[in-house]
Amino acid sequence: MDSSNKLGLIGKNISYSFSKKYFEDKFKKKKLNDFSYEIFDLQEINEVEELLLKPNLLGFNVTIPYKEKVIDYLDELSDEAQKIGAVNCVLIENGKKTGYNTDAFGFEKTLVAHKKPYHESALVLGNGGAAKAVQYVLDKHQIPYQTISRKSEINFDNLNSETVSKNKLIIQCTPVGTFPNTEDCLSFPFEALTNQHLVIDLIYNPEYSKFILNASQNGAKTVNGYYMLEQQAEKAWEIWSFKKK
């Protein structure tokens, strides 16, 4: 059966994705037999051009490594996607392709659920599309942060215990440690963590990344990316179904 409403996910090497099952369960629950959700594994971003020609494509999610690159193929960006400079949800309406960022919504929900008054400043690990959504939310909540990446002044090689001690909120935004490379872990001074530290790792597969396990063993409160993922998916669904009359 050719479903009349196609949705999907673009990314690279994404067979492990949560989204397909999540949305298919939602379609079943809501008895939406005319919706389908597919995985579009693209080796290069320009393959999205072919995808955009598909009839009845209502929209799609975007994951690593295309959250920034996909912008060149869109007609318009929502306010938050424009400010963040990354897109993880696309709506196609009458041929017009609009990019949204629901990662920010998902991360904000996670942050608000766990943040304590002493989480006054943050370290953002990574500087890709997910990190940009996190930075946007931290700005919104007036939480100062430092970004640690391979190329930043403070990087994974020279990040010291003193910096970690001072910043009680740590957000891990890199894909290091994601399935299938579950033994990988960022270089990080875990010994500097305390029970006042909140460590949020955006990885959800595996449920407990090496980074989370190490942080937890050093006393930090830890949160994985699952709740954020659910919340960003719900927000994406709101965007697609609200527009679909």
Catalytically annotated residues: 67
84 and 136 in contact (C-beta within 8 Å)? yes
Q: Which two tokens stand for residue 5?
A: 């409403």
The residue among 123, 181, 130, 175 whose CA lies nearest residue 152 is 123
Residue with the two structure tokens 């994406």: 236
19 membership: H or E segment, kind and range? helix 19-29
d(CA 160, CA 164): 7
Q: Angle at CA 232, nearest 5°, toward 85 and 7?
A: 90
Q: Which two tokens stand for residue 6?
A: 């196609």
Q: What share of the chain is helix, strand, coil (3-state, %, to 5)?
A: 35, 20, 45
The residue among 126, 189, 191, 194 whose CA lies nearest residue 160 is 189
198 membership: H or E segment, kind and range? strand 198-201
All residues at 6 or more sequence positions from 30 whose CB lies less than 8 Å from its CB, including other chains:
none
d(CA 189, CA 162): 9
